[in-house]
């Protein structure tokens, strides 16, 4: 891990909560996805590295998961709008 990625060590999504941030490998009903994403975003909202995480996901064009409190579609919308996280 490079010095610029050390923020990941302080992220609250590490460990037991990681399953909330990415879709399961099996089918997920819409209401279950929305509930999972809401729980993940609640963790992001109090995370000390939320900004770094969101910036990383946008810069690297992460295709999956909740990063910095944003879903895949929300990150695409930010980029399209020309906004930084």
Q: Where are the domains of the chain?
A: 3-81
Burial of 46 (0-12, 13-18, 19+ CB in 10 A): exposed
Mean pLDDT of 28-42: 96
Dist. CA 70–CA 29, nearest whole Å: 19
Provide the pLDDT for residue 85. 60
Answer whether 0.75 is exceeded by the pTM: yes
Residue 13 has pLDDT above 80, yes or no: yes
- CA proximity to 84, closest of 67, 50, 59: 59
- Convert the pLDDT of each residue in 37-83 to its tens digit: 999 999 999 999 999 999 999 999 999 999 999 999 999 999 999 86
For residue 84, give both structure tokens.
């930084």
> Residue 47: how many CB atoms within 10 A of its CB?
18
pLDDT at 33: 95
Q: Which residue has the higher pLDDT, 10 or 18?
A: 10
pLDDT of residue 5: 74
């Amino acid at each position: 891990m490079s010095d610029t990625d050390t923020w990941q060590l302080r992220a609250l999504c590490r460990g037991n909560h990681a399953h909330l941030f990415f879709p399961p490998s099996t089918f997920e009903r819409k209401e279950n996805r929305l509930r999972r994403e809401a729980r993940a975003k609640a963790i992001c909202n109090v995370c000390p590295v939320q900004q770094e995480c969101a910036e990383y996901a946008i810069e690297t064009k992460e295709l999956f998961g909740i990063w910095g409190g944003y879903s895949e579609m929300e990150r695409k919308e930010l980029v399209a709008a020309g906004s930084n996280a």
